[in-house]
Amino acid sequence: MLLELASSHRPAPAPSPRRGGGESAPPASIPGVWRGLGRARPESEPTGFAALDAALLGGWPVGALSQLVGGEAGLGFSIVVPLLARLTQAGRHAALVAPPYIPYAPALRDAGVELQRLLWIAPQDRVDALWAAEQMLRSGVFGAVALWSPPLDAPVERRLQLAAETGRSIGMACHSVGYGAHSIAAVRLQLRTAATGLEIEVLRCRGARPGQRVECPFPLRRVA
């Protein structure tokens, strides 16, 4: 839901804080001042890959939607597995909604995922998949919810984003086909296979410069 704030009366701007000598305080010391690129995200979960964490200013944003776009179904799941392992080992639940392949339990267990806290949902259709993802993101029970689906339209993206904010969860929308720049996802990653791993281009990350490229090895190339 988009909120539009309109007012015919704007309050006068607050005077700039000054230090004892009459000099203006540096912007970094003034609460509420937007610092532009380079500002750290308040809360995130490490991806398990140092280079990717650096590009994403700490990792997967909590309370937000991330978008993973690959050229083939299931590409990129290996960079999600470390998050699943960390969350489930910490007692949190995680969910996989409509993955393109059956999750391979032995490989996930070997990667450290506590299987009793991982929910796999195989909905009958896209409507059920979207409904399940939204409810789990909103519930506050699931630390992360990964959804595989065709590209989402703007209203659906907004609903999932709002649900992730409400539940303080990590939402992931995984697509094998990308789409234009009109997405509200906090993070957008373009995934391609490389000789020894996965090449990741950061198309968008709030607070960071787009266009960064990192490469991550994938010991779990096809675990789902």
Q: For residue 84, tell me if it sits in a domain.
A: yes
Distance, in Å, from the CA atom of 188 to the CA atom of 15, rounded to the nearest integer, reads 38
31 in any annotated domain:
no
pLDDT at 25: 54
In this prediction, residue 53 carries a pLDDT of: 94
Query: Sheet of 187-193: strands edge to edge?
Result: 118-121, 93-97, 142-148, 170-175, 64-70, 187-193, 197-205, 213-217
User: 197, 78 in Cβ contact below 8 A?
Assistant: no
pTM of the model: 0.78
pLDDT over 90 at 158, yes or no? yes
**Of 181 and 131, the one with more pLDDT:** 131
86-144: per-residue pLDDT in tens?
Answer: 999 999 999 999 999 999 999 999 999 999 999 999 999 999 999 999 999 999 999 99
pLDDT digits (tens, 9 = 90+) for 143-152: 999 999 998 9
Q: What is the pLDDT of residues 24-79, one digit of tens each?
A: 555 445 544 444 444 545 599 999 999 999 999 999 999 999 999 988 888 889 99
In a domain, 102, yes or no: yes
Q: Do the domain assignments include residue 82?
A: yes
Q: Is the dihedral of CA 62, 173, 77, 190 positive or negative?
A: negative
Question: CA angle, corner 218, sides to 214 and 102, nearest 5?
Answer: 130
Distance CA 224, CA 105 (A): 9
pLDDT at 177: 77
Which residue has 């996802």 as its token pair?
185
Total domain count, the chain: 1
| 216 and 54 Cβ atoms separated by less than 8 Å | no
Integer Cα distance of 76 and 192 in angstroms: 8
Q: CATH number for the domain including 138?
A: 3.40.50.300
Give the residue numbers spanning the domain of 61.
42-217
The reported pLDDT for the residue numbered 189 is: 94
- Per the model's pLDDT, the better-predicted residue between 150 and 182 turns out to be 150
